[in-house]
Copies of this chain bind each other. A is one copy, B any other.
């Protein structure tokens, strides 16, 4: 339940009282108070009910994922990093290879990413692979290469964290944490990422509903970190013959209405096919995406992982101006 007060002071006064009464999971944002787990005023303690001003508005939904909701926080969240702005009417471009392969390669990728006008260098050093015998990433060595490449090119570094046990290591290097689709409901990991303040890019799980995704983001905010952005990356449906996943492009406007957090789209994973990445990216911004995530590789067929969905820097460079035009047209 979200209660909208006439003034910030009234909101703060009620929150103080609720906390004094021992209530938990109560949050305030300007003149709005969120009380997790409550659906109506009648369920609140009597003394609070009696004390509420009469000219409040109640936003019933959602009962639970309150801090992420636009009802609680009407204005867009805009996340600032050293090199990037994520959210609002910005179009954030994240690009890089699927995996860190070696030092020279990520350096070259970083330079390319910079030239594309992107500000965030992605790349995996810990790879969530379906099969245990597949390449699992370079680990710490990869992080070192990635950091150096990002620094040299003056880019933010973004990399996936797969486990709480890797937190200290990954945290030593990265600027932005990525949580992969398979870990979207790894609640232990979400809690750890909620207890620090670096931005977290949270990918939607393969069969996660919109509500599941919002609840996962709420975990991070509940533990104190408001710097979360969401990434649609395709869902699992009945037809996987021509695309690896099904890009749920309508999740973008749905999420933009429900939450203030920035919404990005990874059309590389969503489609899994090189020739669909650009159409997917265009559709994403046309639907309101505030950012895009691309896997690039100068020789996609030689990529260590997922070459089938990597596009060349040249392809991306040619497509970006049109993508930006669509974005601007939609944001007007």
Contacts and interface: CB of A to CB of B under 8 A. Distances in A.
Interface of A: 24-25, 36-37, 64-65, 128-134, 162-166, 182-183, 185-191, 206-207, 209-212, 215, 218-219, 222-223, 235-243, 246-250, 252-254, 257-258, 270-271, 275-276, 279-280, 282-288, 322, 325-326, 329-330, 332
A218 B132 contact: yes
27 contacts: A25-B133, A37-B133, A65-B131, A130-B212, A131-B218, A132-B223, A133-B222, A163-B164, A163-B189, A165-B165, A182-B187, A207-B236, A210-B241, A237-B237, A237-B238, A238-B240, A242-B258, A246-B250, A249-B280, A250-B279, A253-B279, A254-B276, A282-B286, A283-B283, A283-B286, A286-B287, A322-B329
B250 A215 contact: no
A67 B239 CA distance: 22
Contacts of A162: 186-188
B238 A133 contact: no
Given A36-B133, A235-B246, A250-B276, 19 more contacts: A25-B133, A64-B133, A65-B131, A129-B187, A131-B215, A132-B223, A166-B188, A182-B186, A210-B242, A237-B237, A237-B248, A238-B238, A242-B254, A242-B258, A243-B250, A252-B279, A279-B286, A282-B287, A282-B326
- Taking each of A131, A219, A223, which has the highest tally of chain B beta carbons within 10 Å of its own beta carbon? A131
A128 B187 contact: yes
Nearest to A37: B133
Contacts of A24: 133
A239 B250 CA distance: 12
Q: How many subunits of this chain does the assembly comprise?
A: 4
Nearest to A64: B131
A219 B276 contact: no
B243 A286 contact: no
Contacts of A325: 329
A49 B134 CA distance: 24
Contacts of A133: 24-25, 36-37, 64, 222
Contacts of A248: 237, 239, 246-247
A250 B250 contact: no
- Taking each of A25, A191, A249, A330, which has the highest tally of chain B beta carbons within 10 Å of its own beta carbon? A249
A315 to B, nearest CB: 14
Nearest to A257: B275
A159 to B, nearest CB: 15
A216 to B, nearest CB: 8
- Taking each of A182, A288, A322, which has the highest tally of chain B beta carbons within 10 Å of its own beta carbon? A182
Contact of A215 (B64, B132, B240, B270): B132
